[in-house]
Structure 1
Amino acid sequence: MTFWKRHEFFINGDWVQAEQAETFEVLNPATEEPIGSIAMANEATVNAAVVAAKEAFPSFSRTAIAERKDLLRSILSVYRKRRDEVAHAIQMELGAPRHLAYGPQTAVGESHLDGIMQALGTFEFEHTLMNGDLVNREPIGVCGLITPWNWPINQIALKVLPALAAGCTMVLKPSEYTPFNAMLYAEILAEAGVPKGVFNLVNGEGPVAGAAMSRHPDIDMMSFTGSARAGAAVSKDAADSVKKVALELGGKSPNLVFADSDLTDAVKRGVRHMFNNTGQSCNAPSRMLVEQSVYDEAKEVALKTAEQQQVGNPDDAGHHMGPLVNHIQYDRVQELIKAGMEEGATLLTGGLGKPDHMNEGYFVKPTIFVDVTNDMRIAREEIFGPVLTMIPFQDEDEAIAIANDTEYGLAAFVQTQDEDKAMRVAKRLRAGMVHINGAGLGVGSPFGGYKKSGIGREGGTFGLEEFLEVKLIARPK
C-alpha cells in the first residue's frame, strides 16, 4: 500500500523541512486506515511563504504575456505526463472510485488550463475608453488560495492557473484531508518552470494556517472555496487589511422537473447527478422539484434509479459510488438523514447506517426523501452527501418560488421540452448557473453563484479578471 510521509512545505522553489510542526494523519476513507502524514503549518511558516511570494512578485508581474502562455503550455505538458499519479492520490485520499479519479477528477486539470489559455489569448490587458482615457489591467499582487477536498485538482486549477496567467504570485493551502495531490501539483509546477517564489504551498488547518493567510497584511487577495461558514470567517479575517476576497461556497441547488419534460430521462439524470462524487459537490441538484401531475411517476423512476446505484470500493472497476471523505462528513450526513425522518419526510430508499455489505469505511446508503416541504432541514441545509429531496409543485410560479426560497444560489436545473418555458424559468431563477435538460458548462464558462454561494466567478476570462486590478491612466486629450 502506498504510504506518503511528506513533512515539508514548498516555499521559494524548494521543499523546506518542517521544524517542530504538528503532524496530521491522512486516512483512506474506504478503509479508515492511514495512508500518510503531513506537517501542519503555523503562522511563522505562512509568513515565510508570503515573504517568498512577495519577493517574487515584482519580476513575475512584469513578465510578457507570451512568456506566461509558454509557461501554461509547459504546465499542461508536465501535467499530462503525471496525471495518473495525481489520480492515484485522489483515489486514495478522497476515496474517489477509479472511473472518477482517473476521469473527471483529473480531466479538469487539463480543461481548466485550456480555458485559461484561451482567455489569455484574447484578453485585453490595455484598452482606450471612448473618452480617451487608458485602462490597464494589472496583477493584483500576492494571492492566498484555500482549496477544498471534494474536487481538489478542480479548485487548485481554477485558482492557481488564472493567478499565474494574470502575473500574480501565491500561497496555496489545500485541504489537509486531500493534501497529496496538491503536493504533486507543486512538483508539476516546479518541473514546468514556474519561477521560484511564484508558487508556494503550505499544509495546515483553516483556523490556523488559513486564518494566518487571511489576516496577513502582505497578501493582497484571498480566494477561498469551501463552506459558507468558513467563507465568512475568511472574510472577517481579511477585513482589517481590506483585501479583496473571492468566495466559492455552498449550494442547495433546485432541479425543476416539469410535466412536459422527458420525465424518465430527466429524473434518472437528476438522481445520478446527485449521487456522483458521493453527493460531495457544491452544485449538486439536491432538491428535485417535480410538477404534481407527474410526481408519483417521478418517485417510481427515482426509486428504480437509486436501487441500481451500486456502492463499492474505489479500487474496483465500474461506475459505483465511493465513501464520504471522513468521519465528520459521515456523521453530518447521518444527522441530517435522521432529521429528515424526524421531520416527517417519507424515506423512499436508503436511510441511516452503512450499506449492508460495508463494514469499514465511510460508506453511506444512497438516500431519497419524498413528500418533503421546503422548510425542512433536509431541504434547507447543504447535506454534502448522496441525499436527494423530492418536493412537489403545482405550477411554474410555485416552482420558481420554491427554487428561490434558499439562502444559496449556486446552480439550478430546468427540465422541460418547451424551449420558451426553459428560458423564461431560467431567467427568473436566482442562481449563478442554470442547466437546461442536462447541458453542462463549456470550457471557460463562469462558475459561481448568488447569495451565500459566494462572491466572484471562476473559469476562463471571468476567472482571470478576479486576479487583476483596474488602473485608469488619464492623459492629456
Structure 2
Amino acid sequence: MSADYRNYIDGEWVESESDETIEVRNPADTTEVVGTYQRSTEADTERAIEAANDAAEGWAKTPGPERGRILRETAGILESRKEELVETLVREEGKTRSEAGEVGRSIDLFYYYAEKARDIGGPNKQSSGEKTELSVRKEPLGVAGLITPWNYPSAIPAWKIAPALATGNTVALKPASAAPGPARQLVEALDEAGVPDGVVNLVTGPGSEVGNTISSHPAVDVVSFTGSSAVGERVYETASGDQKRVQCEMGGKNPTIVMPSADLDQATEIVAGGAFGVTGQACTACSRAIVHEDVSEQFLDQIVAHAESIEIGPGLEDPDMGPHISESELDGTLEYIDIANGEGATLETGGGRPEGSTYENGYFVEPTVFSDVDPEDRIAQEEVFGPVLSVIEVGGFEEALEVANGVEYGLSSSIVTQDLDEAHRFVDETESGVAKVNDKTTGVELHVPFGGYKRSSTNTYREQGDAGIDFYTAEKTVYLNY
C-alpha cells in the first residue's frame, strides 16, 4: 500500500492548495504505486520561499558550530535509517541496491559539512598602513533555491542542502517529480534533528510552476540546478536576469580513450562500469569508447561479451543493471538506437527490450554497443542518457584527443594507458571539468570541486568541497582602523 506525502513548509507538513497529487510508480514494476506526492502550484512555492526568507536572518545569526550540530545530528538519523532510505531510492528510481550506495554519500556529505560549519571564515591580511586590521568574512547570501534531478535523488539534494545550511542560508527545495522520496527523507531527518521552522522547505511538483517560481522569485538570492542542458540554460537565463548567483550543472557526452599500452581487461571493466552502471543514467556516464586501432578489435570483443553478461532485473533483487526510470526515458534510448542504426553504425549487441515475464511491467532495456561509429554521428554527439556505448576507432593519441574534445559537452573524461606521457598530455588537454586516468568517468569524491566545461555547466561556480562553501557565501572585506 502506497503512502501519501506532503510538502514541508515553515516547519509543517502541508498539502498543496491544488488538491492534486502525483503518483510515483516503481519503474521495475509499474503496477506498484510507491507513493503519492503533492502537485504544487506557484502559490505553494511562494509560501515556501517566503518562509525561507522570514527565517533567513535568524539562521544566518546562528553560530556555525550550532548549525554544524544540526547537520551532524541529521547525518546520524540518516545513518540509522540507511536500509529504509536505500529501499525508497530503489523503488522510486530503479537503481540496484548496490547502486543505491549513494545514500552513504548523502550521509557523508552531512557529516562533512557539519565539520566545515565550524571554521567558515576568511583570511586576515596584512594592511599596507599602520593601525589597520584587514580581514575577509564569508557571509550567507540568503535564500537558496535548489532544483534537483531524479538520477541521484539522494546525493545531489544532499550536496546542495548541506553546504547551503552550513554557511547560514535557508533553503527552498524542489526535487524531481519522478523520484522525490529520497529528498523528502533528508528533510524528515533535518526536521527531527531540530532545524528551525522555515530554514528548510520542500515543495514537489512540475518544473513549469515550482521550478520556474524558484528561479524567478525576487526573494531567492542563489539558485543551484542539476539536470538537462536545455532546462538548465532556461533556469540560468531566468535566475540571472535579476542578478541572482546561479550555478547549473548539466549534461555530458563523456569519453574514455583506450590506448595500446592499456590492460584491456582493466579497460573493459572501466568502460563498462561507466557506460552501463546506473543504467547509463548519469551525467558522467561513458557513452564513447575511443579506441586505438591496434587494440580495437580485441577491445570490442571484450566489451560486447561484458555487455552480454550483464544481469538485468528489478533493483530490489540487486542485479547488475536495473530499469530506466520512466517510459519517456526508455523511449528516448530506443529512439537513439534507431538513429544509430539509420546512420550506419553496426549494432554489436543489445538494441532492444529484454524478453520475459520479469520485464513486461518495467522500463527495461538491454545494454547496447555500437561499432563503426563516425565521430560526427548523432549517437556520438548527443547525450543519450541510457546504457548505449559507441565504440570509435582512431589511429593515434592526437586523433583520440581531437575526437574526445569534439563535442559541445565537457563534464568528465578518462584515459586508460600505461604511458606516462599520454596520461599527462591527456590531463593537460582534455576539455572537461573532471579528468581521470585509468578510472571510469563516473564517481567523484565529495571534498573536491565538481563541475563541467562548455555546455555541461554555466561555468560559474563548482559544487562540493570548499567550492560548495564559496558558492553559497559572499565575501566582505573589513578595514578596521584603530
- Common fold by TM > 0.5: yes
Post-superposition shift, 1:419? 2.5
The alignment status of 1:461 with 2:460, answered yes or no, reads no
Partner in structure 2 of residue 169 of structure 1: 170
Cα–Cα, structure 1 residues 278 and 249, in superposed 2: closer, same or farther, change >3 Å? Answer: same
> In structure 2, the residue corresponding to 1:421 is in which secondary structure?
helix
Post-superposition shift, 1:123? 4.5
2:87 counterpart letter in structure 1: H
1:113 counterpart letter in structure 2: F
2:122 counterpart letter in structure 1: F
1:346 counterpart letter in structure 2: T
The alignment status of 1:35 with 2:34, answered yes or no, reads yes
2:239 counterpart letter in structure 1: A
The CA distance in 1 between the partners of 2:278 and 2:90, in whole Å, is 11
| Aligned 8 A contact 1:269 1:438 in 2 | yes
Partner in structure 1 of residue 182 of structure 2: 181
Partner in structure 2 of residue 16 of structure 1: 14
1:26 counterpart letter in structure 2: V
| Aligned 8 A contact 2:254 2:285 in 1 | yes
**Unpaired runs of at least 5, structure 1:** none
Which sits farther off after the overlay, 348-357 or 117-126? Answer: 117-126
Partner in structure 2 of residue 366 of structure 1: 367
Post-superposition shift, 1:462? 1.0
Aligned residue runs from structure 1 range 268-307, under 5 A: 268-307=269-308
Partner in structure 2 of residue 418 of structure 1: 419
Which sits farther off after the overlay, 388-397 or 266-275? Answer: 266-275
Aligned residue runs from structure 1 range 19-418, under 5 A: 19-33=17-31, 34-101=33-100, 104-117=101-114, 119-121=116-118, 123-128=120-125, 131=128, 133-317=134-318, 319-356=319-356, 358-418=359-419
Post-superposition shift, 1:314? 1.8
> In structure 1, the residue corresponding to 2:81 is in which secondary structure?
helix
| Aligned 8 A contact 1:120 1:461 in 2 | no
The CA distance in 2 between the partners of 1:443 and 1:238, in whole Å, is 26
The alignment status of 1:450 with 2:447, answered yes or no, reads no
Post-superposition shift, 1:433? 0.5
The CA distance in 1 between the partners of 2:14 and 2:465, in whole Å, is 33
Identity of aligned residues (%): 36
Post-superposition shift, 1:126? 4.7
> In structure 1, the residue corresponding to 2:29 is in which secondary structure?
coil
1:109 counterpart letter in structure 2: S
2:105 counterpart letter in structure 1: V
Post-superposition shift, 1:82? 1.7
**Unpaired runs of at least 5, structure 2:** none
| Aligned 8 A contact 1:253 1:409 in 2 | yes
Post-superposition shift, 1:99? 2.4
Post-superposition shift, 1:445? 1.4
The CA distance in 1 between the partners of 2:415 and 2:347, in whole Å, is 24
C-alpha offsets along residues 274-300 of structure 1, whole Å, 9 cap, x if unaligned?
111111010011111111111101101
Post-superposition shift, 1:113? 2.6
The CA distance in 1 between the partners of 2:446 and 2:28, in whole Å, is 32
The CA distance in 1 between the partners of 2:206 and 2:81, in whole Å, is 27
2:160 counterpart letter in structure 1: K
> In structure 1, the residue corresponding to 2:463 is in which secondary structure?
coil
2:71 counterpart letter in structure 1: L
Cα–Cα, structure 1 residues 269 and 240, in superposed 2: closer, same or farther, change >3 Å? Answer: closer
Post-superposition shift, 1:54? 0.5
| Aligned 8 A contact 1:409 1:451 in 2 | yes
The CA distance in 1 between the partners of 2:445 and 2:20, in whole Å, is 42
Cα–Cα, structure 1 residues 372 and 76, in superposed 2: closer, same or farther, change >3 Å? Answer: same
The CA distance in 1 between the partners of 2:415 and 2:205, in whole Å, is 40
C-alpha offsets along residues 20-57 of structure 1, whole Å, 9 cap, x if unaligned?
33321111111112222111111111111011101111
| Aligned 8 A contact 2:68 2:116 in 1 | no
Instruction: State the TM-score, normalizing by the size of structure 1.
Output: 0.95
The CA distance in 1 between the partners of 2:269 and 2:465, in whole Å, is 31
Post-superposition shift, 1:18? 2.3
2:316 counterpart letter in structure 1: D
Which sits farther off after the overlay, 357-366 or 324-333? Answer: 357-366
The CA distance in 1 between the partners of 2:165 and 2:352, in whole Å, is 45
The CA distance in 1 between the partners of 2:468 and 2:52, in whole Å, is 20
| Aligned 8 A contact 1:86 1:184 in 2 | yes
The CA distance in 2 between the partners of 1:308 and 1:289, in whole Å, is 22
The CA distance in 2 between the partners of 1:130 and 1:371, in whole Å, is 64
| Aligned 8 A contact 1:100 1:277 in 2 | yes
| Aligned 8 A contact 2:113 2:162 in 1 | yes
Post-superposition shift, 1:198? 0.5
> In structure 1, the residue corresponding to 2:183 is in which secondary structure?
helix
> In structure 2, the residue corresponding to 1:470 is in which secondary structure?
strand
| Aligned 8 A contact 2:18 2:40 in 1 | no
> In structure 1, the residue corresponding to 2:413 is in which secondary structure?
strand
C-alpha offsets along residues 163-220 of structure 1, whole Å, 9 cap, x if unaligned?
0111100100000110122222211110111111110000011111100111100000
2:424 counterpart letter in structure 1: M
C-alpha offsets along residues 281-335 of structure 1, whole Å, 9 cap, x if unaligned?
1001111111111110110110111111110122214x42110000110110011
The CA distance in 2 between the partners of 1:40 and 1:127, in whole Å, is 49
The CA distance in 1 between the partners of 2:434 and 2:53, in whole Å, is 35
Cα–Cα, structure 1 residues 298 and 122, in superposed 2: closer, same or farther, change >3 Å? Answer: farther
C-alpha offsets along residues 340-381 of structure 1, whole Å, 9 cap, x if unaligned?
000001101001334456222100011011111111111111
Which sits farther off after the overlay, 190-199 or 119-128? Answer: 119-128
| Aligned 8 A contact 1:171 1:202 in 2 | yes
Instruction: State the TM-score, normalizing by the size of structure 2.
Output: 0.94
2:50 counterpart letter in structure 1: V
Post-superposition shift, 1:121? 5.0
Which sits farther off after the overlay, 357-366 or 112-121? Answer: 112-121
The CA distance in 1 between the partners of 2:106 and 2:450, in whole Å, is 15
Cα–Cα, structure 1 residues 324 and 130, in superposed 2: closer, same or farther, change >3 Å? Answer: farther
Which sits farther off after the overlay, 222-231 or 430-439? Answer: 430-439
| Aligned 8 A contact 1:127 1:136 in 2 | no
The CA distance in 1 between the partners of 2:184 and 2:196, in whole Å, is 17
Post-superposition shift, 1:134? 2.5
Which sits farther off after the overlay, 126-135 or 60-69? Answer: 126-135
Cα–Cα, structure 1 residues 164 and 396, in superposed 2: closer, same or farther, change >3 Å? Answer: same
Post-superposition shift, 1:383? 0.6
> In structure 2, the residue corresponding to 1:98 is in which secondary structure?
coil
> In structure 2, the residue corresponding to 1:230 is in which secondary structure?
helix
Post-superposition shift, 1:136? 1.4
Cα–Cα, structure 1 residues 194 and 238, in superposed 2: closer, same or farther, change >3 Å? Answer: same
| Aligned 8 A contact 1:123 1:461 in 2 | no
Post-superposition shift, 1:235? 1.2
| Aligned 8 A contact 1:83 1:106 in 2 | yes
Equivalent residues, number: 472
